[in-house]
Amino acid sequence: MTAEVRFRSDSDVYLRIWLADIAFDYWADGAAIPSLVRDWRKKRWCTIELIQNAIDDCRLLPRLPCERLFLGP
């Protein structure tokens, strides 16, 4: 991610985290994304994809683990 990403804090976002060759799909609060990206930039140990137009019903995906940690200041 090279550009600053802006998401509405009242919407949920579909994101995919890649660890090695395994993809993990999650549903996360849009307000958590800036903190997640800021944390990721400190040490890039995975690849993150933010998917805007998903064909499948993303509401069936699990929530991002420890999502509430990224909602704080």
How do the pLDDT tens digits run along the chain, 73 residues long? 444 455 555 678 889 999 989 999 999 888 888 888 888 899 888 999 988 766 666 678 899 998 888 887 6
Q: Which of 52, 36, 56 is nearest to 44 (CA)?
A: 36
Cβ(46)–Cβ(17) under 8 Å? yes
Q: Which pLDDT value is given to residue 56?
A: 64
Q: Which pLDDT value is given to residue 54?
A: 66
Q: Which pLDDT value is given to residue 1?
A: 43
pTM to 2 decimal places = 0.74
Element (H, E) at 10: none
Task: Give the SS3 label for residue 28.
Answer: strand
Q: Which pLDDT value is given to residue 52?
A: 74
